[in-house]
Amino acid sequence: MTEPVYETVEEWVTERFVPMYRRTLGGEFRWCPQWWRHAEAISRLTALWHAWEALRLEAGTGMGVWYRDHLDHQLPILLGARGPFYQCSEDEHLEPHLANVEPAPPGWWGSSTESVSDGPADEPELDSHV
């Protein structure tokens, strides 16, 4: 197996992603200098890095596939005005708002052998859960 070019996602972001995929920041494009404080950004950048490491090895169209199937999809979400950096500027990190979560009532998910996709145990009407 070929060794990766970059050992960590931080190294890939710092040495490859940020210098290579420059955008004028503000308005349409957002970035946070503390990108590593955004769980969604870490996840998306890690996915991009892993795909880049794999596809760089494919001769001919590997990088084209990476752009089309990975970067071109992730970049507008990652840097978008409603993406993980939406509250930040290139000079300031603002902690993203965390949505409230309430636990489901006992019995909501049925027995432990049911899959999550099976829905509520008693199949109540949707209006009663809105």
24 — pLDDT class (breaks 50, 70, 90): low
Q: What is the pLDDT of residue 50?
A: 96
- In terms of Cα–Cα distance, which of 1, 100, 6 is closest to 45? 6
pLDDT at position 73, please?
93
Question: With the C-alpha atoms ordered 75, 80, 86, 90, is the resulting torsion angle positive or negative?
Answer: positive
Q: What is the pLDDT confidence band of residue 7, given thresholds at 50, 70 and 90?
A: very high
Is 115 a residue whose pLDDT tops 80? no
> Is the pLDDT assigned to residue 117 strictly greater than 60?
no
* 20 or 108, higher pLDDT: 108
CA distance 49 to 71: 10
Q: Between these two residues, 31 and 45, which has the higher pLDDT value?
A: 45
Q: Which pair of structure tokens corresponds to residue 117?
A: 């996709």
Q: Which pLDDT does position 26 carry in this prediction?
A: 66
| Long-range Cβ contact pairs of 53-57 (< 8 A, separation 24 or more) | 53/4, 53/5, 53/6, 56/5, 57/2
